[in-house]
Amino acid sequence: MSLASLPTPAALIDITRMERNIARMQQRMDALGVRFRPHVKTTKCQQVVQAQLQAGASGITVSTLKEAEQFFAAGIRDIVYAVGMAPTKLEQALALRRQGCDLKIVADSVVCAEAIVAFGRAHDASFEVWIEIDVDGHRSGIAPDDAVLLAVGSILHAGGMRLGGVLAHAGSSYDHDNDAALIAVAEQERAGCVHAAERLRAAGLPCEVVSIGSTPTALRAEQLRGVTEVRAGVYAMFDLVMYNVGVNTLDDIALSVLTTVIGHQPEKGWAIVDAGWMAMSRDRGTQGRRQDFGYGQVCTEDGQVLQGYLMSGANQEHGILSRQGSPDSQIAQHLPIGTRLRILPNHACATGAQYPHYQAIAADGSVTTWPRFNGW
Amino acid sequence: MSLASLPTPAALIDITRMERNIARMQQRMDALGVRFRPHVKTTKCQQVVQAQLQAGASGITVSTLKEAEQFFAAGIRDIVYAVGMAPTKLEQALALRRQGCDLKIVADSVVCAEAIVAFGRAHDASFEVWIEIDVDGHRSGIAPDDAVLLAVGSILHAGGMRLGGVLAHAGSSYDHDNDAALIAVAEQERAGCVHAAERLRAAGLPCEVVSIGSTPTALRAEQLRGVTEVRAGVYAMFDLVMYNVGVNTLDDIALSVLTTVIGHQPEKGWAIVDAGWMAMSRDRGTQGRRQDFGYGQVCTEDGQVLQGYLMSGANQEHGILSRQGSPDSQIAQHLPIGTRLRILPNHACATGAQYPHYQAIAADGSVTTWPRFNGW
């Protein structure tokens, strides 16, 4: 199979770029002296995760128990399920542990900790639990100074669970676009999570792991004293949101959508392609940011950026391409029907999820199908 | 299986509501004296499409050739592929026709018409082609008065293709929120498409079918003189975008996402659930419209709307629920960990596409898994 013979739309991975992105992150983590645990939610693809592990990653992070099941079946034991545990999912988590999966689960409340302890007693089971720390008010977690932290730790420890560590994610890092701000958020993430660990230890509770991370903070942190591991996901592909954040160039983006021109509205300067929001996802993550890319940046079939040409609109299976600023009245001549293009996506996690597989392009131009999975 | 035992997140279809929606549209089309051809892109689900056909629909509309293949394999012959034909997809379309599928394809340019004719000659094949008409500047199609219309018709007819009709979709109807505007758009869609058909016929070209439609215009058109069939898709489920347009109540929405509360940030009035954008889609179609529902409207597990509670934020597997206006400082008491809720989606087509199957709930509470497919 070759790029020229692929049906459209298709989700392409440029393997050279992907490997460069993976090496860049791993080398950085090695230099900072921490383990690296990639978040596999971005690609849910064995081939990508194998490349991450081969580069030196230690274990994986998952966003669903289905990811844990699939990657455990593929031979990966060391897994953190980084979404607060729903008590009803404990049975599924226990089944994984009993099969030999070293699954870690997450709690951030007394109610959740008590439910885990009660379930453990009822099933004669012990879980390794990490406490989620809120370092930036972004989403879930316990503030580092909150009294609830010690209550949760005590309940889990006294209840026979293994209190494995603390975990934080500075999701607010996505909102910044300059290095000074990213360095500050990275330090806030580090300091908050380390502080929470120190409070637990000072209270006589175990807390071996201090796990933090997001792609921007991982790439901009100046030092990681007290941190034992970092998690990040989108760095393996990068995307236009991360380009706006300032951590990758357009030429680093490893994921793109291959599409074909199917029509024009010449007086509007529109080319219509066979990739709409179903192929790109509805993610408009660059809206209102430094540069709004619409539904994506248009490139030639071989990946050269067509400056100024964006997917400016999208219906389910139609994308509208146009030139920003001055409409291209000659677009039907510049991009005639049948022209094949690549579109760089706003958000690699969301775009990848629209596909059952990637088409991975090697440096020699050969194409291999890499399956991915979706659902729960 | 029962609602109470379903793992979360899950995509629920309320069968009673779905059947009511399907009956409502079919009765209207019957009363207006036109055939009805549902667009199956909304659900890509055999059970839903069978319900539409049983209610009286004639054939189906598809947005991908994969939909055509899947529904033809399930016994449906009369299919319109309503996206402008990419010349490279003609081989796949021909294979379907040679298997006995009565597949109609669409063209809106001289280049496309010529490519179809050339392919037909090279493969000793004839396609039935419908010409796409642009009635509202929304996307693809030829304006009803454009000289290109007759050129395309002549090329196809002279080239041995069956010129089956004209097809229009007033996608701009989604932008309105009052009946007067919808009635006007519906009339514009009807009049424009009928006018194009009359021009073709006046030029001695065949044009049997006049096919129009969108959910809002189908539900608000006052008369359909000259139209032979109507297409619509989202009406079977409805959603919050259509609620804003004004064509359904919240109680008509047949699709919802079942989710579980996994945590809180009480001082912010947040409940965190295990359905994020992966479960809801990234569709923010109600943004900037009459009522912005965030990522969705919160309901109880049995479907009662919780007025004012929205999914105000979403990460990949986390949703943030909050009360609009005044934050609910007692949210941890009102919606404790483990509470199961339903979320009504902005856009049923986008939310459904995040799932490999629906969980269909009958009036007696029984639950059946209905598969759907995705991809191309």
Residues B74-92 pLDDT 10s = 999 999 999 999 999 999 9
Query: Do the Cβ atoms of B171 and A315 come within 8 Å?
Result: yes
B288 touches chain A (CB under 8 A): no
- Which residues of chain B does A320 touch, with a Cβ-Cβ cutoff of 8 Å? 139
Helix (H, G, I), strand (E, B) or coil at B16: helix
Query: Do the Cβ atoms of A282 and B281 come within 8 Å?
Result: yes
Paired tokens of A92 = 């599924």
B8 touches chain A (CB under 8 A): yes
- Which residues of chain A does B2 touch, with a Cβ-Cβ cutoff of 8 Å? none
Interface test with A, best of B92, B172, B265, B355 (most A CBs within 10 A): B265
B6 touches chain A (CB under 8 A): no
* C-alpha distances in Å from residue B224, one per residue of A19, A23, B35, B106: 58, 62, 11, 22
Interface test with A, best of B42, B234, B278, B357 (most A CBs within 10 A): B278
The bridge status of strand B297-300 relative to strand B305-314 is antiparallel
* C-alpha distances in Å from residue A204, one per residue of A26, A149, A160, A207, B249: 33, 13, 15, 9, 56
**Nearest residue in A to B333, CA atom:** A111
- Angle (CA) A259-B144-B225 rounded to 5° is 115
- Which residues of chain A does B112 touch, with a Cβ-Cβ cutoff of 8 Å? 262-263, 337
- Which residues of chain A does B84 touch, with a Cβ-Cβ cutoff of 8 Å? 262-263, 272, 318
Rounded Cα distance, A319 and A272, in Å: 6
B170 touches chain A (CB under 8 A): no
Q: Which of B282, B318, B356 sits opposite A282 (nearest CB)?
A: B282
A351 touches chain B (CB under 8 A): no
A239 touches chain B (CB under 8 A): no
Query: Do the Cβ atoms of A282 and B337 come within 8 Å?
Result: no
Rounded Cα distance, A259 and B86, in Å: 10
Interface test with A, best of B106, B139, B281 (most A CBs within 10 A): B139
A316 touches chain B (CB under 8 A): yes
Give the type of residue at B307.
Q
Rounded Cα distance, A342 and A304, in Å: 9
**Could you tell me which residues are beta bridge partners of residue A343?**
A257, A298
Paired tokens of A312 = 């400016």
Instruction: Give the minimum alpha-carbon distance from A87 to chain B in angstroms, rounded to a whole number.
Output: 7
Q: What is the pLDDT of residue A1?
A: 84
Q: Which residues contact A122 (CB under 8 A, 6 or more apart)?
A: none
**Could you tell me which residues are beta bridge partners of residue A166?**
A131, A210
* C-alpha distances in Å from residue B90, one per residue of A338, B81, B113: 12, 12, 12
- Which residues of chain B does A284 touch, with a Cβ-Cβ cutoff of 8 Å? 282, 284
Sheet arrangement for strand B162-168: B35-38, B229-232, B209-212, B162-168, B128-133, B102-107, B78-84, B60-62
DSSP element (H, E) containing B166: strand B162-168
User: CA dihedral defined by A43, B258, A90, A356, rounded to 10 degrees?
Assistant: -20
Write the secondary structure of chain A as one string of H (helix), E (strand) and C (coil): CEHHHCCCCEEEEEHHHHHHHHHHHHHHHHHHCCEEEEEHHHCCCHHHHHHHHHCCCCCEEECCHHHHHHHHHCCCCEEEEEEECCHHHHHHHHHHHHCCCEEEEEECCHHHHHHHHHHHHHCCCCCEEEEEECCCCCCCCECCCCCHHHHHHHHHHHCCCEEEEEEECCHHHHHCCCHHHHHHHHHHHHHHHHHHHHHHHHCCCCCCEEEECCHHHHHHCCCCCCCCEEEECHHHCCCHHHHHHCCCCHHHCCEEEEEEEEEEEHHHCEEEECCCHHHHCCCCCCCCCCCCCECCEEEECCCCEEEEEEEEEECCCCEEEEECCCCCCCHHHHCCCCCEEEEECCCHHHHHCCCCEEEEECCCCEEEEEECCCCC
The bridge status of strand A255-265 relative to strand A270-273 is antiparallel
Query: Do the Cβ atoms of B376 and A63 come within 8 Å?
Result: no
Interface test with B, best of A239, A278, A312 (most B CBs within 10 A): A278
Query: Do the Cβ atoms of A375 and B355 come within 8 Å?
Result: yes
A232 touches chain B (CB under 8 A): no
Instruction: Give the minimum alpha-carbon distance from A278 to chain B in angstroms, rounded to a whole number.
Output: 8
Interface test with A, best of B260, B272, B280, B282 (most A CBs within 10 A): B282
Query: Do the Cβ atoms of B111 and A336 come within 8 Å?
Result: yes
Query: Do the Cβ atoms of A86 and B260 come within 8 Å?
Result: yes
Select from A290, A308, A311, A279 the least CA-distant residue to A242. A290
Question: Which positions 31-70 of B are in contact with A (Cβ < 8 Å)?
Answer: 41, 63-64
Query: Do the Cβ atoms of B140 and A282 come within 8 Å?
Result: no
The bridge status of strand A10-14 relative to strand A35-38 is unpaired
The answer to whether the beta carbons of residues B273 and B318 sit under 8 Å apart is yes
DSSP annotation of B200 reads H
Rounded Cα distance, A374 and A249, in Å: 28
The number of C-beta contacts closer than 8 angstroms across A and B is 150
Q: Model-level pTM?
A: 0.98
DSSP annotation of B374 reads -
Rounded Cα distance, A154 and A114, in Å: 10
The answer to whether the beta carbons of residues A10 and A357 sit under 8 Å apart is no
* C-alpha distances in Å from residue B247, one per residue of B56, B307, B324, B346: 21, 20, 24, 14
- Which residues of chain A does B115 touch, with a Cβ-Cβ cutoff of 8 Å? 337-338
Interface test with B, best of A135, A268, A316 (most B CBs within 10 A): A316
Q: Which residues contact A304 (CB under 8 A, 6 or more apart)?
A: none
Terminal-residue alpha carbon distance, chain A: 31
A297 touches chain B (CB under 8 A): no
Paired tokens of A47 = 């081939």
Query: Do the Cβ atoms of B316 and A283 come within 8 Å?
Result: no
Q: What is the pLDDT of residue B1?
A: 84
- Which residues of chain B does A353 touch, with a Cβ-Cβ cutoff of 8 Å? 278, 354
| Other beta carbons within 10 Å of B74 | 10
Instruction: Extract the residue ranges of chain B whose pLDDT is less than 70.
Output: none
The answer to whether the beta carbons of residues B49 and B55 sit under 8 Å apart is no
Instruction: Extract the residue ranges of chain A whose pLDDT is less than 70.
Output: none
Instruction: Give the minimum alpha-carbon distance from A100 to chain B in angstroms, rounded to a whole number.
Output: 23
CA atoms within 13 A on the CB side of B98: 10
Question: Which positions 189-228 of B are in contact with A (Cβ < 8 Å)?
Answer: none
* Cis peptide bond N-terminal to A9, omega within 30: yes
Q: What is the pLDDT of residue A233?
A: 98
Query: Do the Cβ atoms of A316 and B260 come within 8 Å?
Result: no
The bridge status of strand B60-62 relative to strand B297-300 is unpaired
- Which residues of chain A does B376 touch, with a Cβ-Cβ cutoff of 8 Å? 7-10, 279
- Angle (CA) B275-B277-B281 rounded to 5° is 115
Q: Which residues contact B234 (CB under 8 A, 6 or more apart)?
A: B42, B215, B241, B242, B347, B348, B349
Q: Which of B277, B284, B337 sits opposite A109 (nearest CB)?
A: B337
DSSP element (H, E) containing B63: none
Which residue bears the tokens 């809801």?
B280
Query: Do the Cβ atoms of A282 and B278 come within 8 Å?
Result: no
Rounded Cα distance, B105 and B357, in Å: 28
Handedness of CA B18, B24, B26, B27 (dihedral sign): positive
Instruction: Give the minimum alpha-carbon distance from B66 to chain A in angstroms, rounded to a whole number.
Output: 12
Question: Which positions 70-129 of A are in contact with B (Cβ < 8 Å)?
Answer: 83-89, 92, 108-109, 111-112, 115
Helix (H, G, I), strand (E, B) or coil at B273: strand
Select from A324, A350, A245, A319 the least CA-distant residue to A8. A319
The answer to whether the beta carbons of residues A45 and A358 sit under 8 Å apart is yes
Rounded Cα distance, A184 and B200, in Å: 66
